[in-house]
Amino acid sequence: MAQYRKIARDGLWDNNIVFGQMLALCPLLAVTGTATNGLGMGLATTAVLVASGLAVSLLRGAITPEIRIPAFVLIIACIVTVVDMALNAWVHDLHKVLGLFIPLIVTNCAILGRAEAFASKQAPLASAFDGLMMGLGFTLALTVLGGLREVLGSGTLFANASVLLGARFGFLETVVIPDYQGFLLLILPPGGFIVLGFLLALKSLADSRRRAASAAETARAARSFTAVGVLPRPEEGETS
Amino acid sequence: MTDTAPDPSRLSALKTSPLAPGLLLALFSLGTALILALSDDLTRDAIATRATEDLYASLAQVMPPASYDNDPTTSLRQMLDGEEMIPVYVGAEGADVSALAFALTGYGYGGAIRVLIGLDAQGTLLGVRVLAHAETPGLGDKIETAKSDWVKGFAGKSLQSPAPDGWKVRKDGGQFDQFSGATITPRAVVATVHRGLTLFKANRAALLAPLDAEERG
């Protein structure tokens, strides 16, 4: 159980594909002009991450170290192509929205990264779970980045969400700033870099706050243990 | 049984031979190719059906189905666009051509823009739709009907109305609105539609020739 908790924590926050590993920035900048596009790309990538994690883990016994990279690329490209064809054939309306993003998934180095760093060494279930958590963390990053760029760049949030998620999710479409003239810089790729920079700074700030808080907690606990004589008193002149 | 079982020492020799990774990779490629071929086989018909449905849906938007009684996707004619022959979908009532549609490519800010143009026999625009483009989201994508009604403004226009110098965006002294922040995209669409009307005028006689039974399909 502890292992799964760590996988979830790694995928969603500590080792998040975008905010932690700084991978997959190419599809990130291309699609995060709106929150809806970010969400769509995130969900499609999650599906591929789960499937590739499972496939790589199942085949890890057969893949020798010399051929692992081409073998992983083959597996991932195969999954992406099959997903693309299946969506086009049977969920055509969704394919019209996501179709643009699906071939882009192959260029996502994070998927190869997870295959190499995790799935090639771990059991199938853990690998699929790692794919799910990494994918959800990626979806979170894409949606937040897309939402920020959309609000600041076009004054809307989740525009066209009903095309992606169905008419029931039409309520998500909001106009945040009416009669907004738009801020082109944020919609274009440089805006993606700028907003990403601010988000990375925020995460780093939150992490350092948390580290400081937990360090203070440890220090306080150490002091109280010292007071009751559980821990030895620090020597004179020694700093903690 | 023992004589057919592989000799363990020879198997391990095979595993360490320099050929082994190559063979294994070849096996992997073969497996992947098989899976892809199988999925392609399973999905090909469905994908072709969807593509035809899409074509019907787009055609219905630029040439009202009430104006013809044939199947324009089978009644095809050709027209020379520059150096390329492009297909023209012909709608007819009986043998008389009543509506035409064809797709042209224009170049906007983000590359190629595919524009589907529908005309009646007099050369008046019935409708214009953008089939595919890579314009800037939030600015240039107002040429899509999902984002804006701008492209519907072409209906009813022809080479005579507006006059030739009116076939430009307002910024260039013409009749058509540009979008705030995006002039190149609407300029490209207006120029492409105008090119379509000119092409129709040049090929008018061949395109409007009465439909024979074979062409009606």
Q: What is the pLDDT of residues B47-63, one digit of tens each?
A: 889 888 888 888 898 99
Q: Which residues of A touch chain B, with CB atoms under 8 Å apart?
A: 33-34, 37, 62-64, 66-67, 70-71, 74-75, 77-78, 81-82, 85-86, 88-90, 92, 153-154, 160, 163, 181-182, 184, 187-188
Q: Chain B interface, mutation test: which of A34, A37, A66, A102, most B Cβ atoms within 10 Å?
A: A66
Write the burial class of residue B18 (CB in 10 Å: 0-12 exposed, 13-18 middle, 19+ buried): exposed
Q: What local confidence, expressed as pLDDT, does residue A238 receive?
A: 46
pTM above 0.80, yes or no: no
Q: Which residues of chain A have pLDDT under 50?
A: 237-240
In a domain, B57, yes or no: no
Q: Residues B178-210: pLDDT tens digits?
A: 887 788 999 999 999 999 999 999 999 888 988
Tell me how many domains chain A contains: 1
B191: closest CA among B172, B214, B215? B172
How many CB atoms are closer than 10 A to CB A150? Answer: 26
Domain that holds residue B201: 63-216
How many Cβ atoms sit within 10 Å of the Cβ of residue A99?
Answer: 14
Residue B40 lies in a domain: no
Does B49 fall in a domain? no
pLDDT of residue A231: 61
Percentage of residues in chain B having pLDDT higher than 70? 92
Q: What is the average pLDDT across B76-90? A: 88
Residue B193 confidence (pLDDT): 95
Q: Using an 8 Å Cβ cutoff, are B119 and B126 in contact?
A: yes
Nearest to B46 among A66, A90, A160 (CB): A90
Task: Give the whole-angstrom CA distance, residue A127 versus residue B112.
Answer: 41
The token pair at A120 is 């090639």
**B144-153 contact pairs (CB < 8 A, 24+):** B145/B61, B146/A160, B146/A163, B148/B179, B150/B177, B150/B179, B150/B186, B151/B189, B152/B127, B152/B128, B153/B177
Is residue B27 a part of any domain in this protein? no
The residue with greater pLDDT, A173 or B126, is B126
Q: Is residue A176 part of a domain?
A: no
Q: Which residues of A touch B28 (CB under 8 A)?
A: 63, 67, 70-71, 74-75
Residues of B in contact with A173 (CB under 8 A): none
Any domain includes B143: yes
Spatial contact of B141 and A156, defined as CB atoms under 8 Å apart: no
Question: How many domains are there within chain B?
Answer: 1
Query: Quick check: is A89 in a domain?
Result: yes
